[in-house]
Structures are given as C-alpha cells and as structure tokens.
Structure 1
Amino acid sequence: MASISSLGIGSGLDLNSLLDQLEASERQQLTPITLKQQSYQAKISAYGKLESALTSFQDAVAKLADGKQFEAVKKEVSGDALSATLGDDALTGNYDLDVSQRARGYSIATQGIAAANEALGAGTLNITLANGDTLDLEIGEKQSTLEGIRDAINDAGGGIQASLMNDGGDTPYRLVLSSTATGTEAAIDSVTFGGGLGPSLALDPDSEVPALNARLTINGIAVTSQSNQVEDAIQGVTLNLKETGTATLDVTRDGAGIKKAVKSFADAYNTLQETLDNLTRFNQDTGESGALLGDATLRGIESRLRSVVSGGGTGGAFNTLADIGITLKVDGTLEVDEEAVDDAVDNQLGALADFFTGRADKDGLAVRLDDALADMVDDGGTLDDATEGLETSIETLQTQYLRTEDRINSTLARYRTQFQKLDSMIAEMNSTSSYLTQQFDALNAQLGQ
C-alpha cells in the first residue's frame, strides 16, 4: 500500500478539514471542565474580597474589644516651657508646672596650642565621669595631635565627645571635652594627660561649664531630673522641657476618639454589608449574578454576624446596639444616631465600655464579634477551609482535564491513522481503475481495427 504523507492527496477528499471538525467536536468535552475551573477560581477570588472586608471590620471591632480604647486620654498644654507625650498608662489629671532650670551637659577646654596638627608626643589620656565610668586611652606618636586625640575620644565613645575650638589668639587651638548626656551624673569628674601629652596639654578652669540637673515643680512638688526629658514624674506622661517658665497640662478622657471608634465600627460593618450584597447580587434584567450567590459559606457567615450584632449585651445599662443609638436597618446596615452615641460617651462611658468589652464573666458585643470574626478569617477558619476545598477541586479538575485531553489525542491519532489508510486505499483503487480503463481502451481499439 502506498504511503500518503499529506491527507487527501491520494483520494482527493478534504480529509484534513474533516479531521479538524472531529477534533473540535472531541475537544468540546474539555469545555465543561474549564468552565467549572473558572467558576471555582471566581469563587476563590470572591472569598478573597469577602475576607478583606471581614478583616477591615475585625480591625474596627478589635478597638472596641480592647478596654484601653475607653481609657484613652488626650492632652492639652498651655505655655511654652514644655511639651508632653502620653503613654498607654496615662491617667486623667490637671497639673501646674514651673520649670526653674533645664538640664545641661558638662564641658571643659584645654589651654591653647599653636597648631591642631602639631605632634605633642605619645602618652595617655584618662577621663573619669561623676558616675564612676572611665575612659582610658593610649595615644601613639602619630595620633598625638589635637585632631588625632579628638578622633580617638570620639571613636571610643564612653559618654564623652571631643571637638576643636579656635579662639583666634596666639595659641588658638583648644581641645573641648563634653559629656554626651545632661545632668550631674554624666559630668566629667577628672581628666589626666600622661606621658608626652602632659607637658603640652592642661585644662583651662575658666572654660569649665558645670553640668546642671533639670528642676521643676509639679503641683507644688519639687522634681529633679538628669535629663530635660522627664519620665514617670507623672504616670504615663513624658515631659519635654524646652525653657524655664510655667505651663499647665490637662490630661482628659479622649471622648472624641471613643466616638470615632464607635462610628468606625458602624461604617466598617456597613462596608462589609455592601460587599456581601455585591457578592450575592442578581440582576433580573441581565441575568448577571454575584460570584457567591447562594453560597453556603457566605450564608453561614452572614447569619452568624447578624446573630451576634442583634444579640443582647451583658445585662448592664446598655443591652443592645439600639440602646446606644445604633439601629439595624431592614437592608442589613447600621444607622448611627450621633447625638445618642455622644450622650453615651459623655455621660455613661463605663456602661458603654461594659457593653462592648464585657462585665463580670460575660463577654461584651465587640469581644463576641472579634471571636466570631477570628473563626472566619484566621488560618484554619471558615474561609480558609472553603478556599482550600475549592483549590483541591481545581486540582482534581486539572487532573481530569489532562486525562480527557490524552484520551482526545489518542482518538484523534486513531482517526488520522484510519484516514491515512482510507486515503491510501482510495489512491490505490483510483490507480487500479485508471489502469483497467487504459487496458479496456486499448482492447477496444484493437477490436475496432
């Protein structure tokens, strides 16, 4: 049988087109698998959007679940003598402050010499601080200039820094030694130049600037500090002294921050509800639907959230969100009565804190919501499990796709082989027919003669 290298050449039939049609028909088996994979992937993407909205809501909930939110304070400072920074444990209070002295660091200079780069001779330098710390340096011949000694001190650290001064005189260059910290404890107590440095360098007592501690009174109580940053004189407050003078500090409850946290809670819930609506929407006119329409996982999440949000409180003055001015509307969103919330913060802050954080052995609304949200978005939670299930299904479908594709390729290979045989057979039959026709024509010609 003759070998046919291209389908249809031997038979004259359009076998390539027929094979393409058969391939297209066979590959339709892959379409349902691909569509199902795409639908699962769309669900995974939708779960991601849902998780993002849930996490944002969780952030707002967590602020109200933390009792510190309701203890938050703010400050107001009058006067230029100082500024203040509040820590987490700051308490409310009013303070009159009088700064009589700011802290200052110690410094002293040497007598002058003619040149900053003049070698003074190898020797030793020993510096002792008031707190007992010492700096002991060996100064080599090449390093024994004022510049070299300065660099050696600065490289060593130890609470002392050195600089050079030019006083413009006949021997203008001086080595200035300064404590890096303020206060008497960081002051330089003694400086000794030994060896070759001794004859050349000596301290100038007239250049001494003594160290000072900060001194102030807080509500009439005298306070001393080594630094101008006064910590712990007032619990949870750091005072930054700027100049001498008086100032007042008022630390009050941050009602505005608490109101903002409550409003943010409602806003985040409404944003979450909008996300839920988008993921489950259905347009009757176009037939378009959200990726999670009818999804059991989403329905379970929505049901649990509504149950917690509409549930009772801890049995205190406030028992529901409506009691503090937040109502659950028919469309699932929260509506805030700002006047009612302001009144709760200004006049019943303790009861409001109990409602969100809990009292006795009963968790508050925010704590229960935080626990519910953690079950949904944490690793191993509801959305994690649902996503992993879909990813497993996609992998299974991919395996099915590859098996189906292999089967289709095998079928197409069989069709091609069969077509090749058909092509060869028809080509051979055509050849035989042509031969017989020629023979009959020749015979007829002979008979006709």
Structure 2
Amino acid sequence: MASISSLGVGSGLDLSGLLDQLRSAEREKLQPIVTQQSDEKAKISAFGRLQTALDGFQDAVAKLNDASLYSSLSTSVQGEGVMATAGADASPGRYEVSVTQSARGGSLATSRIDDINLEDPLTDAGAQLTLTFGDGSTMPIDLAADSTLGDIRDTINATPDTGVTASIINDGTGNRLVLASSETGEAAAITDMTFTGLSVGATLAKDADTLRAGRDAELEINGIAITSPSNRVEGAIQGITLDLDDSASGQTSTVVVERDSDSLREAVTGFVSAYNEMKSTVGRMTAVTGDADTAGELVGDRTVRTIQTRLSRDLGESVLGGELELMSQVGISLTPNGRLELDQAKLDEAIAGNPQGVAGFFAGDSEAAGMAGRLSGTLEQVLGDSGMLKRSIESSETRIDNLGDRYARTERSIESTIDRYRTQFGQLDSMLAQMNSMSDYLTQQFSALDAQLGRK
C-alpha cells in the first residue's frame, strides 16, 4: 500500500489534500472542548478576583467587629517635655501636668590616678569593692589580684545586678573610674564606693566632689504632687503613661485624652468603600452585553448570586437588641443599584451623640453579634477553606481536568478516523491504479487490432 507521501500517485487524484481537509474537519470537534476549557479558566480567574475583593471587604468588616475600636482613646499634649499614651483602661479627661524636675541617675568617680599606667596592677589577693546606694543597700564585688583599672571596670560590668555601669575617663591629667547608676531615681543612685585590699602604694578612692546625686521626678497633676523614680510615670493617671524628658523640668503641659473618633470614622468609611469596590468587581463579572466576547465571566453564576443575596440580607436586616438597629441610623444607606452610600454628617452625629449605640450596632456584645459579626459569619462561609467560593473554584478545576481527558479521547478518535480514511484512500488509489493500467492495456490491444484490420 502506498504511504501518505505517495498517496494519489496511482490514481492521479489529490488524495493527500483530501485527507488533510478531512483531518481539519474532524478536528473541528475539538473546538467546543477548547472553548469550554477557556471558559472555565476565565471563571477561575474571575473567582480569584472576586476573592481578592471579598478579602478586602472581610478585613474592613473585621475592623468594625473589633470591640477595641470603640473604646480606643487618643491623647494629645499641649506643651513641651511630656509625652502621653492612653491604655485600654484609660478614661477621657483633661489633665494639667507641671514638672518640677525630671528623674535622673546618680554617678560617682574615683580620685584621679596620676603617674600610673592603665596596665599597672592595683589590687592584692582578696581585694574588694563595696558599692552603696541611695536606699542604703550595698553591693560587694570581689576583685582579682593584680587587677588594673581596666580590669576593675570590666569586673564591675561583668557582675550581674550591680546597679551601675563602669567606665574610665581621662580628664587630661589622669584617669578616673566612673560609676553611673543603671536606673534613675534617688533610691537607685550610687552614693559611695570603698576599696579594700589594694596593693601597697596604690591609691583608689571616691572623689566626693564628683558625686552627682540621683533624683526622683517631681510633678503635679491637676495640683496633686507626684514623685516617680523614673521618667516614665505610670498609674498616676489611670490608664495613662507619661514620659518626661530633660526639657520637662519647669514646664507645664496639658494632656487631653478623648475618644478616638477618627479611627472609628475611618473604619466605617473603609467598610463602605470596600463593599462598593466588591460590588464593582461583581458588576464587571456579571455584565450582560449581548456579546459573548465582552460579557462578564460569571454571568448567571449561582455562587455569585448566592453571595450577593446573603450579603444584601445581612446589610438590610435589623440589628436587634441595641439602641441602633438600622444602617440608616449611622448614616449608611443601600442605594437602588446595590451600593452603599455614607452620610458623613449623620455618622459623626451618631458617634458624638451615641457612641455606645454605634458600638452595639456594628460589634454588639460578642464576635457574632452586631451587623459586623453577622457579616463576618457569612464571609467565613464564603471565603473559608470549605467555603462556597473555594468549592466553585475546585468544581471548575475538576471540569477542566475532565475536559482535558475528553479532549485527549476525542483527539485519539480523530486520529483513528484519519487512519481509517488513509487506509481506504490507499485501497482506492491501488484499485484506480489497476483500473488505469487495465484501461491502458485494453487501449493498446484495441489499437493493435485496429491496425491489423486496416492492413487487411
């Protein structure tokens, strides 16, 4: 049988071209499968964009469902040298803070060591340094024999909980060992140091003139005297931490603590924007244009319809049990096209006049209560690991796999059909070749017979 490369040689017909046309016609059966695969891939991509939009909305809902949003406070300070931070148990108020002095740590240096190298030993065996602090406590530190001034410094810094840090300062004519308190305040300040067991001829003692006494911070809050060993003053005003710096001494500042309405306002605005952005995304995906090339990828999709229905229900239903029950009472309305609209003035009025009602409407008294809690539950059913969005994506992925198998089966069937055509064409080519050969033979015989008859 002739191969495909010589198909048609025997008959003189373009059987190879005809076979190619048949193959092209058969492969048209694959196009609907390819189209369906493309549609499912477009759906998966669309579901991914929808998930991104819903994730943004879920984040906005989570902010509104956080009870701390409604109890958060902001602080401001009018004046210099004082910073204020409000904690969870703070209360709104106005406080006048007058600082007499800020807290500082104490320091003390040894007398100058003249004509002696830093490498010269100063101690014998059994030497010891004893530190005394403002609260009367002492700290003994054992010193190794033949310790230099640098060794003494290193021993102090390596000893745990000494309450001081040691350094060496050269004043231009000699070296001094300087001890600085690790903490501020009068009680923690170093007040004395004594050495025992020094080498013969070594002189190492405190220089009383270098004593820099530690001190507590002294201030008044609304006329009430306060002392603090630290420049971080905690507990003087419930829930408020004051931080003083060196410039605070002699300064009077006003600390204002008020409800953080800006954060709540931003959260509500972000909620409305995130929902509208999600609606815009859905609108593009479900747009009906009458043209398959421009229509949305999820036109008529049941999952999208279900998501929209549930979210609209959550937004429209009343929140029972609180002072505020409807979105309109906090300045949010649902427009005819399904988007949210925010009346900023009405929201500000609700926040200022009924902050507890606003908190109850959005967050309720538990994570599942309030409108935000209701929406959170719905969004979890949509976006969770076993949620409807993930199931829809998995369903499309399964259909793509099945279509891939169907494509492969159809392609094998097409090749089998083409092989059958090729065999039949080969047989036709052989038969026509034999017929042509027989025709040529008969033509020759008839011609020879005519010649013989003509001679007679």
TM-score by length of 2: 0.80
CA pair 97-414 structure 1, distance change in 2 beyond 3 A: same
Task: Look up the match of 2:240.
Answer: 237
Task: Look up the match of 1:294.
Answer: 300
* Counterpart secondary structure, 2:121: coil
Kept in 1: contact 2:95–2:222 (CA 8 A): yes
- Determine whether 1:57 maps to 2:74: no
Q: 1:329 aligns with which of 311, 332, 335?
A: 335
Kept in 1: contact 2:102–2:231 (CA 8 A): yes
Task: Look up the match of 1:79.
Answer: 79
CA pair 174-361 structure 1, distance change in 2 beyond 3 A: closer
Kept in 2: contact 1:106–1:182 (CA 8 A): yes
Kept in 1: contact 2:143–2:152 (CA 8 A): no
CA distance in structure 2 between the aligned counterparts of 1:323 and 1:139, rounded to whole angstroms:
78
CA distance in structure 1 between the aligned counterparts of 2:201 and 2:31, rounded to whole angstroms:
95
Structure 2 unaligned blocks of 5 or more: none
CA distance in structure 1 between the aligned counterparts of 2:16 and 2:152, rounded to whole angstroms:
93
Letter in 1 for 2:78: S
CA pair 430-265 structure 1, distance change in 2 beyond 3 A: same
CA pair 86-402 structure 1, distance change in 2 beyond 3 A: farther
CA distance in structure 2 between the aligned counterparts of 1:197 and 1:272, rounded to whole angstroms:
86
CA pair 410-252 structure 1, distance change in 2 beyond 3 A: same
How much identity, in percent, do the aligned residues show? 40
Task: Look up the match of 1:204.
Answer: 207
Kept in 1: contact 2:363–2:369 (CA 8 A): yes
Task: State how 1:6-405 maps to structure 2 within 5 Å.
Answer: 6-8=5-7, 11=10, 17-110=17-110, 111-114=112-115, 117-120=118-121, 130=133, 145-147=148-150, 150=153, 158=161, 160-169=164-173, 171=174, 173-184=175-186, 186-188=188-190, 190=193, 192=195, 199=202, 201-242=204-245, 243-244=248-249, 245-284=251-290, 288-358=294-364, 363-405=369-411
CA distance in structure 1 between the aligned counterparts of 2:77 and 2:101, rounded to whole angstroms:
19
Kept in 1: contact 2:368–2:377 (CA 8 A): no
Kept in 2: contact 1:314–1:354 (CA 8 A): no
Letter in 1 for 2:91: L
CA pair 4-314 structure 1, distance change in 2 beyond 3 A: closer
* Counterpart secondary structure, 1:331: coil
Kept in 2: contact 1:314–1:362 (CA 8 A): no
Deviation of residue 434 (structure 1)?
13
CA distance in structure 2 between the aligned counterparts of 1:52 and 1:347, rounded to whole angstroms:
36
CA distance in structure 1 between the aligned counterparts of 2:200 and 2:82, rounded to whole angstroms:
44
Deviations 1:383-425 (A, max 9, x none): 12222222222223233333444444555566667777877x5
Kept in 1: contact 2:165–2:181 (CA 8 A): yes
Kept in 1: contact 2:65–2:367 (CA 8 A): no
Q: Which moved more, 1:34-43 or 1:124-133?
A: 124-133
Letter in 2 for 1:336: L
TM-score by length of 1: 0.81
Deviation of residue 311 (structure 1)?
0.8
Deviations 1:138-169 (A, max 9, x none): 6687xx55556555655667554333322112
CA distance in structure 1 between the aligned counterparts of 2:156 and 2:148, rounded to whole angstroms:
12
Kept in 2: contact 1:314–1:359 (CA 8 A): no
Q: Which moved more, 1:103-112 or 1:12-21?
A: 12-21
CA distance in structure 1 between the aligned counterparts of 2:206 and 2:271, rounded to whole angstroms:
66
Letter in 2 for 1:203: K
Matched residue count:
442
CA pair 264-427 structure 1, distance change in 2 beyond 3 A: same
CA distance in structure 1 between the aligned counterparts of 2:280 and 2:44, rounded to whole angstroms:
19
CA distance in structure 1 between the aligned counterparts of 2:361 and 2:240, rounded to whole angstroms:
29
Kept in 2: contact 1:120–1:200 (CA 8 A): no
CA distance in structure 2 between the aligned counterparts of 1:341 and 1:193, rounded to whole angstroms:
74
Q: Which moved more, 1:364-373 or 1:178-187?
A: 178-187
Q: Which moved more, 1:330-339 or 1:144-153?
A: 144-153
Deviation of residue 53 (structure 1)?
1.6
Deviations 1:176-205 (A, max 9, x none): 222333234544464657566993644333
Deviation of residue 114 (structure 1)?
4.6
* Counterpart secondary structure, 2:207: strand
Deviations 1:233-259 (A, max 9, x none): 323322110221221211112233323
CA distance in structure 2 between the aligned counterparts of 1:192 and 1:399, rounded to whole angstroms:
91
* Counterpart secondary structure, 1:350: helix
RMSD: 4.1
Deviation of residue 264 (structure 1)?
2.5
Kept in 1: contact 2:149–2:177 (CA 8 A): yes
Deviations 1:56-81 (A, max 9, x none): 22222222222322222222211213
Letter in 1 for 2:180: S
Kept in 2: contact 1:47–1:387 (CA 8 A): yes
Q: Which moved more, 1:251-260 or 1:45-54?
A: 251-260
CA distance in structure 2 between the aligned counterparts of 1:419 and 1:149, rounded to whole angstroms:
107
Kept in 1: contact 2:122–2:202 (CA 8 A): no
Kept in 2: contact 1:193–1:202 (CA 8 A): no
Letter in 2 for 1:71: S
Deviation of residue 353 (structure 1)?
2.0
Structure 1 unaligned blocks of 5 or more: none
